[in-house]
Structures are given as structure tokens and as C-alpha cells.
Chain A
Amino acid sequence: MIESTLYYSVKMKKRFILLSLLLSFILLVIFNSVFAQELTVSASKTKLAVGEQFQITYSLNTSGNGFRHPSFNDFDVYSGPNQSTSMQIINGAMSQSVSYSFILAPRKEGTYTIIPASITVNGKKTESKSLTINVLKGGNNNQQQQNSGNQQRQSQQQKSGTEELGNNLFIKASVDKSKVYVGEQLVVTYKVYTRVSIVDNGLTKAPVFNGFWSEDVFSPNKQATLHPEVIDGIQYQVAEIKKTILIPQHSGTLNIDAMEMDCVIRMSVKSNNFFDQFFGGGYRDSKVSIKSRTLQIEVMPLPEVGKPDGFSGAVGEFSIETKVNKNKLKTNDGVNYLLTLSGKGNIKFIEPIKLDLPKEFESFDPKMNDKISVSNTGISGSRTYDYLLIPRVAGNLEIPALHFSYFDPQKKEYIILKSAEIPIEVEQGEGEKATVTNNSSISKEDVKMLGSDIRFIKSKTELERKGHFFFDSYLFYFLLILPLIGLVVFLLLKKRFEKENKDFVLMRSKKATKLAQKRLQMANSYLSKNVYDPFYEELYKALYGYLSDKLNINGMELSKDIIIDNLRKNGANEDTLKQLHEILSTCEFARYSPVKEVMGMKSDYDKSIHIISEIEETLRS
């Protein structure tokens, strides 16, 4: 039971590992397709024997230029760089890929690191990874033995120097011109001259064209056709083994490396064996290394004098043709503007031509289509740029003339070609009217970074004392506490004021009773003398004064209604209030009335005393 679960868990683990490997592989694939602008490098083998051929391929899945490959110093270069380009258009989206491959063979055993190659994509230089190659001993011998194993018994292989052969076998490298301009093409031809019969040959070192861009017209081929040629009266059998078009990339004196070749030559020897003699005699095969001369090419820079603006680097002989697929269209409809460059020269190196379009047109990056052929005389062909233009406003527009300049090395001057202007009739299309503001989005470019540097110094500053903090100062603490102090002072003052105020009210109310008593006494004395007016005067004052003080209402605001309202709030009973109202009315009436009723004086006096004592009681409770 335990074993089975253990087994199960191991199985699970294995499955997990498998799944995660699968997942990471998928991720890797996705990653590769997302970050595809890398120059990838691959080798057919990374572990191999001395002399064994292998292929290194650099591939890029977009277009690029200025490919620079490492010099394979420790290797024999059999072929390369062999460029292959493929282009795909799916739903109008163009994808391009390019690869450069080399066939190499190591010379010595050991571990070699091939340094990265680089290419420029959209003005950005990308580098491939470096590659490690492990070279083992031997291995190659088997192959050679196999090759020679089916030779005849007597045949022997042996190495011998070239001097033995003298002028009987050699390679000659020749160029059609030795002085060229940068970008001008030249043809280098390697020929083998021989007066002996060659059984087998193999390239040991293909020439490396440092500083050139190269395109093979044809490559080393074992089945080279021989034709006779006479040099200094000696007839040779000649085979063209390699013909390459070279385009120098920079000025200066550039070397074309030698080509090295191993040939197995067959020489007849006298044999002791009768049968051999009978069947055409014995012969001996020997292996010979031959080498061509290194050639020097003087590359002149293009003259700066008279260099036109917007010179795109074209060197050779060109013509241009422009056309559109329609002349009448509606706004926001597309028109294809085709620009065809044809001629002889470094067509592949021409930078994309920028259109100088009026802002009524929106343009997109062109699709490029190359039809290039390589022949004995050089590279020729045509390149077509297909621009999609979308007019945004209606009217009779015009695609302006296009200027294309190139350098003609024969005439040694720059030549400017001008295309015709193309009128375009644009009608207002359906749908939303194109607004002029749309135009602002035309031909925007990312800001090009030319270099990086630190930002510049600041011109103004506010200097402060170092280590001097307001936060740390006494002033800060003082200011922080200040409002608190203020608040405390405020509260104390308020309390005191309230207390004083309260005392004042208390005193006033205490005084009120005394004052009322005094006034009532006065009234009483008037009553006994039977003096009418002063009596009511005093009674009125006694009542009003008393109520004003008791209720803490100023004399100005004092009126009968206010007094009664106030007393009612304080809980006086309605009966008392009614009596108060009556007596106050009587007093007012008595003060201003000419009629003097002496009879009611005594009862009014008693009533007043009664009311005051009642109110006194109510307010106290």
C-alpha cells in the first residue's frame, strides 16, 4: 500500500516535471515570437571533430542591414555569408526574415567561442549570443580513409608542397577593378589553372571579404567546367571556381583574402606490376594545397562635394518610376503609390525613401519588394516601395515630385532623378467628416535618442542653514503651545465673566425686593395722606422696577406683555398674572387719567403687595 502510493507520488512528480517542461517550452516559443527582433544564432553541431564541416546560421525575423559577422579565425570558411531572405504578407501585414549562414570547419581541437554577430534593425544595433564550439580530435581521418578506400591498391596518398608542381597548378584571383568607390560593386573571380589532372578538390579556406558585402554569383563546385586558356604560350585547363560580387562598405584599402584549396592530383608512375601496366599503367595520387594571392582594393569615399540632400547611399546606375493605382478616390480611402527603383548597383543598401507628403495625406511605412538578380556583370534589378496613402480631406490634391539621388561611379558625379507630380482627385467620402485636427497625428515619430547624459545643473536655489530646523526650534514649540495657552486663557476669562454676570443678576434680584419694599412704603405714606398721583406713580415704579430687576430685563425692553410672558415661562399661576395685568393697567390708567378715584387706592396697594409676594415665591422655587 505504502509502496504503491510512493510509486504513485513519483509518477505524479514525473508528470509534473513533464508538464512544467512542456509549459516552459510553450512559454519559450511565445517569448520568442514576442521578442522576435533578436538576432538568433544556431549551429548544426556544437561538438565535432577537427575538419568536420558544420553550419552556423544567424537569423533575424525582420529586415535589417549592416550585418557584421565575426571573423572565424580558428575555422576554415567553406562558404558564406550566404544570405537568404523571405517575406510574407498576411492580411496586409508584412513580415520579413533574413538569415546568414556559414559553412565552417575547425582547424584545431579545443573549445572555441564564436563572438556575437551584429545587425542594425530600425537604427538599433542588435547582437546575437555567442556560441561555444567543442572540437574533438580525430574523427576526420575516418572520412578521408573512406574516400580513399575505394582507390586502387597502388594508389597512395601523400602530401606534397606546391613547389613540386611549379606552374602546373595554381589559383588566380582577379578583380574587374581595383579602385572603386564605397558602394560600387566589383567582381572577384577565382580560377584554378591546371596542367595536371585533378581527381578531387576541396576548399580549405574560403576567402573572407572583410569590409565588403558579398553576393556569390556561383560558389565552389566540384563539377566546374574546364576550358582551355593560354598564358605565356602554355596551355592550361581553367576552371572558374568562385565568382562573387563585392560591395565595399567603407573607404580605405581593403584586402581580399586568399583562397586555399586542397587538390588531389593524379600522376602516372611506372609500375612493376605487369597487369597494372596493361590496364593503363599505375598512377599515384597526391594531395596538394594551393593558395591564391591576397588582393588589395583601394576604396575611395564618395565625394562630399555636390552630395545632394537626402542622398540615400545608392551607387550605380538607376532609374525611377512612380505610379498610383487610381487617381480618383474618396476621403479616408487608400491609394497605393508605387515607387520603383531599377538599375544596376547596390539596390539592397538603399535606405527607405522618405516621402515628403502634404499633410492632407496620411502615409504608412512602405512594403518593399525586391527583384534582384546577380549576374557576371554585377547586381541589378528593381526594388518597389508600395506606400499606402490615405487622403483625409477632399479636393484636388497632388502627390509632389519625388527626388532620388545616386552616385554614378563611371561619371564620378551625383545624379538627381525627379519623378512626375501625380494629381489625385479626392471626393468627400461617407461617414464622419475628416477634421483638420486629424492632421496633427500625421507622420509622428518617436523622439530619437542621440545619446544619454546627466541632466543639466539647476540655475537657482534657496539655500538654507544646514541642520537648522524650524521643527527643532523653541519657536516651534512655543507656537505649537500658543493656541492651547490662548484657549485656556479664553476659558478662564469666560468663566470669570460668567461668574460676575451671575453675581450681578443675583444682586439685582436681591436688591429688587428691597427696592420694591422702599417704594411700597413710600406709596403707603402717600396713601395715608390720600395723595392720588404720587401714590400710583410709586406703585407703578415699585412693580415695574421689581419685575425688571427680578427678570433681568432692561427698562427699554420692558412692557406688560413681555413681563407676563416671562413670568408664565417661569411658572407663575394664571390668576396672579391676571391680577398683575389688572393692577398694571390701573396704574397706567391712573397716571394719565384726569379722573381720580381715591376709593380703590387701599385695595390696589394690598393687591400689589400680594402679587409681589406671590411672584417672589414663584421665582424662588
Chain B
Amino acid sequence: MKKMFYIFVLLFQSAILYANENNEAEFDKANNLYKGNHYDKAIVSYNAIINSGYESSDLYFNLANAYYKSDSIAAAILYYEKAKKIAPFDEDILVNLKIANLRIKDKIEQPDEFALSKWVNTFTLTKSADKWAIQSIVSFFVCCSLFALYMWVKTRGQKQMLFVISIVFFLVAVSSLFFANKNYSIQQTSNTGVLFIESIQVKSAPDEKSTNLFEIHLGSTFTILEENGNYSRIKLLNTNEGWIKSSAFRAI
């Protein structure tokens, strides 16, 4: 039974490695195409990797660069945002996203987030969900080991010390779990959209005949609040809200 399990794991791993090798070759090929200024071909190549079910911040970043170079600003912003979601503190991504945002028509100032929630969000994104998960497992393991030791030793001083350290590790484990979960939900949900058409009038209701509230242009990013039929309710970074057709944008 145990042997079977090992064989299974080995097979699984080699399958992953094989796929990765293939994709890494494709990634290099795409990079070379990019270096040779064949941006359209590079885009096709990068997309092939994504379609095979793999992703990384670098992949999205390079793809966004290729889109930027071929003047597809909306797609460039979409993929920079995707890359930023995985690696929120990568300077290259932030710089290029800023440059790409300079090329769009709308200029919307981002309001300051509430300090605590901003801090929590930033902290959540310092590690990936998986790294948080591993941290929580390790610290929970340490916590339990220390607790076992606490049960074992007889001296009062040692007991006290072990108990306190064990509690600390327990708190680390629980908070890591919290951040892992938060990060996971951020990664799973795609509530940011990028407009893919030249311009659109934002309506007051999910209805063609409703009042036009304001207009946004190609490459604008916004938060998607809800969907209703063919329409989605969006909220700009400067807190303006309204409805647009869901087909006009792509979610990150």
C-alpha cells in the first residue's frame, strides 16, 4: 500500500516536471521572440503557456510587456494587474503598470484606504497563500511539540517557559492561517476589471435606456461589485459607481 503511494507521488511529480520543462522552453522561445521585436508572435507563445494551465508573475509581466509594445494598452494593463496580484511588491511590475496607465485617457486618483485595512492587506500580500499555509503548519507543529514537552517536564520553571512559547507559536499558526485564507480569497476572486473597448458610457441602471452617468475609456481599471444579467455594477477608484455591459471589460 505504502509502495503504491510512493509510486503514485513519483509519477505525479514527473508529470509536473515534464510539463514544466516544456513550458519553460516555450517561455524562453517567447522571450527570444520578444527580444527580436516579434511582439505578436511572443504574445501567442506566452498565451500558449497560460492556456496549458500554468502561470507566474513573470509570465504575465512579459506578456503585458509584449502587449504594451504592440500598443494593446488595455491588455497590457490587464496582464500587469494579473502579475501584480501574484507579486504585489515587484518594482518592475509597478513601474511598467504606471507607465501603461499614463497611456490611457482616464486619470483617476486612488483615494487613501483606511489605514488599518491597508496595513492588513499589504501584510497579507507579503507572502503567497501557500507560504502562509506552510508557515502555519510549521508553527502549529512546533506549538504541539512544545506542548508535549510541557506535559513531559516536571520542573515548574521549564513548564512555564514551554507553555508561554507554545502559546506564542499557536498564535503565529492561527494568524498565518488567517493571512493564508485572506490571500487565497484575494487570489481566487477577480473583482477588478479593465475596459477593453475604446469608450463606454456608464449607466445609472442595468438598462440601455437609463441615464448616462459618466464615460470611461480604454484601459480604465475599476472594481466589479455585482453582476446582473448582461450588466455589471462597477466602481471606479474615485468611488464613482454605475452599470456597464459585462462584455465591455475583462476581469483580472
Q: Which residues of A are interface residues toward B (Cβ below 8 A)?
A: 452-467, 469-472, 476, 479-480, 482-484, 486-487, 490-491, 494
Instruction: Choose from B20, B49, B99 the contact partner of A452 (Cβ within 8 Å).
Output: B99
Give 3 closest A-B pairs by Cβ, nearest first: A483-B144, A461-B58, A471-B133
CA distance A456 to B151 in the complex (A): 57
CB distance from B235 to the nearest CB of A (A): 26
CA distance A111 to B143 in the complex (A): 80
Contact with A along B190-221 (1 / 0, CB 8 A): 00000000000000000000000000000000
CA distance A456 to B31 in the complex (A): 10
Q: List 9 other contacts, CB 8 Å, given A454-B96, A464-B54, A471-B184.
A: A454-B100, A462-B58, A463-B24, A465-B54, A470-B129, A483-B141, A483-B145, A487-B148, A494-B151
Q: Which residues of A contact B152 (CB under 8 A)?
A: 494
CA distance A460 to B61 in the complex (A): 11
CA distance A47 to B144 in the complex (A): 85
CB distance from B181 to the nearest CB of A (A): 8
CB distance from A259 to the nearest CB of B (A): 46
Contact B50 A471 (CB under 8 A): no
Contact B59 A463 (CB under 8 A): yes
B231 proximal to A (CB < 8 A): no
Contact with A along B133-169 (1 / 0, CB 8 A): 1101100110111011001100000000000000000
CA distance A29 to B195 in the complex (A): 43
B229 proximal to A (CB < 8 A): no
CA distance A487 to B65 in the complex (A): 51
CA distance A537 to B143 in the complex (A): 56
Contact B58 A458 (CB under 8 A): yes
Best-buried of A453, A470, A472, A491 by chain B (most CB within 10 Å): A470
Contact A490 B148 (CB under 8 A): yes
CB distance from A463 to the nearest CB of B (A): 4
CA distance A454 to B79 in the complex (A): 14
CA distance A24 to B190 in the complex (A): 46
CB distance from B239 to the nearest CB of A (A): 28
Contact B144 A454 (CB under 8 A): no
Contact B96 A455 (CB under 8 A): yes
CB distance from A482 to the nearest CB of B (A): 7
Contact B140 A460 (CB under 8 A): no
Instruction: Choose from A458, A467, A469, A471 the contact partner of B62 (Cβ within 8 Å).
Output: A458
CA distance A357 to B53 in the complex (A): 61
Contact A457 B50 (CB under 8 A): no
Contact B129 A471 (CB under 8 A): yes
CA distance A461 to B56 in the complex (A): 7
Q: Which residues of B contact A470 (CB under 8 A)?
A: 129-130, 133-134
Contact A466 B100 (CB under 8 A): no
Instruction: Choose from B49, B65, B147 the contact partner of A463 (Cβ within 8 Å).
Output: B49
Instruction: Decide: A479 near B59, CB < 8 A? Known: A454-B65, A457-B65, A471-B129.
Output: no
Q: Which residues of B contact A454 (CB under 8 A)?
A: 65, 68-69, 95-96, 99-100
For this complex, 9 residue pairs linking A to B, each with C-beta atoms less than 8 Å apart, are A454-B65, A455-B65, A457-B34, A466-B54, A467-B188, A471-B130, A480-B177, A482-B141, A491-B151
Q: Which residues of A contact B34 (CB under 8 A)?
A: 457
Contact B129 A469 (CB under 8 A): yes
Q: Which residues of A contact B132 (CB under 8 A)?
A: 471
Instruction: Choose from B49, B58, B95 the contact partner of A460 (Cβ within 8 Å).
Output: B58
CB distance from B145 to the nearest CB of A (A): 7
From 26 to 60 in chain B, residues with beta carbon under 8 angstroms from any chain A beta carbon are 27, 31, 34-35, 49-50, 53-59
Q: Which residues of B contact A486 (CB under 8 A)?
A: 144, 148
Instruction: Decide: A480 near B136, CB < 8 A? Known: A452-B99, A457-B62.
Output: yes
CA distance A413 to B50 in the complex (A): 63
Contact A483 B140 (CB under 8 A): yes
CB distance from A485 to the nearest CB of B (A): 9
With CB as the reference atom, state the residue of chain B lying closest to A455.
B92
Q: Which residues of B contact A467 (CB under 8 A)?
A: 188
CB distance from B142 to the nearest CB of A (A): 8
B72 proximal to A (CB < 8 A): no
Q: Which residues of B are interface residues toward A (Cβ below 8 A)?
A: 16, 20, 23-24, 27, 31, 34-35, 49-50, 53-59, 61-62, 65-66, 68-69, 92, 95-96, 99-100, 129-130, 132-134, 136-137, 140-141, 143-145, 147-148, 151-152, 177, 180-181, 183-184, 187-188
Contact A463 B133 (CB under 8 A): no
With CB as the reference atom, state the residue of chain A lying closest to B145.
A483
CA distance A479 to B55 in the complex (A): 26
With CB as the reference atom, state the residue of chain A lying closest to B148.
A490
With CB as the reference atom, state the residue of chain B lying closest to A482.
B141
Contact A472 B184 (CB under 8 A): yes
Q: Which residues of A contact B20 (CB under 8 A)?
A: 463
With CB as the reference atom, state the residue of chain A lying closest to B93.
A455
Contact A463 B27 (CB under 8 A): yes
Q: Which residues of B contact A484 (CB under 8 A)?
A: 140, 144
CA distance A522 to B14 in the complex (A): 77
CA distance A453 to B103 in the complex (A): 12
CA distance A463 to B152 in the complex (A): 45
CA distance A461 to B46 in the complex (A): 12
Contact A465 B148 (CB under 8 A): no
CA distance A476 to B181 in the complex (A): 12
Contact A459 B31 (CB under 8 A): yes
With CB as the reference atom, state the residue of chain A lying closest to B30.
A457
Contact A487 B147 (CB under 8 A): yes
Contact A464 B55 (CB under 8 A): yes
CB distance from B212 to the nearest CB of A (A): 30
Q: Which residues of A contact B92 (CB under 8 A)?
A: 455, 458
Contact B61 A457 (CB under 8 A): yes
CA distance A494 to B55 in the complex (A): 48
CA distance A399 to B55 in the complex (A): 61
With CB as the reference atom, state the residue of chain B lying closest to A466.
B55
Q: Which residues of B contact A459 (CB under 8 A)?
A: 31
With CB as the reference atom, state the residue of chain B lying closest to A459.
B31
CB distance from A454 to the nearest CB of B (A): 4
With CB as the reference atom, state the residue of chain A lying closest to B90.
A458
Q: Which residues of A contact B95 (CB under 8 A)?
A: 454-455
CA distance A453 to B99 in the complex (A): 8
Contact A457 B140 (CB under 8 A): no
With CB as the reference atom, state the residue of chain A lying closest to B139.
A483
Q: Which residues of B contact A458 (CB under 8 A)?
A: 58, 61-62, 92
CA distance A18 to B90 in the complex (A): 50
Q: Which residues of A contact B35 (CB under 8 A)?
A: 457
With CB as the reference atom, state the residue of chain B lying closest to A457.
B62
With CB as the reference atom, state the residue of chain A lying closest to B69.
A454
CA distance A456 to B91 in the complex (A): 12
Contact A461 B59 (CB under 8 A): yes
Q: Which residues of A contact B129 (CB under 8 A)?
A: 469-471
Contact B184 A463 (CB under 8 A): no
Q: Which residues of B contact A465 (CB under 8 A)?
A: 16, 53-55
Instruction: Choose from A462, A466, A494 the contact partner of B50 (Cβ within 8 Å).
Output: A466
Q: Which residues of A contact B58 (CB under 8 A)?
A: 458, 460-462
CB distance from A449 to the nearest CB of B (A): 13
Contact B96 A469 (CB under 8 A): no
CB distance from B36 to the nearest CB of A (A): 12
CB distance from B104 to the nearest CB of A (A): 14
With CB as the reference atom, state the residue of chain A lying closest to B55.
A466
Best-buried of B53, B66, B137 by chain A (most CB within 10 Å): B137
CA distance A457 to B93 in the complex (A): 10
With CB as the reference atom, state the residue of chain A lying closest to B64.
A454
Q: Which residues of B contact A455 (CB under 8 A)?
A: 65, 92, 95-96
Q: Which residues of A contact B69 (CB under 8 A)?
A: 454
With CB as the reference atom, state the residue of chain A lying closest to B99.
A454
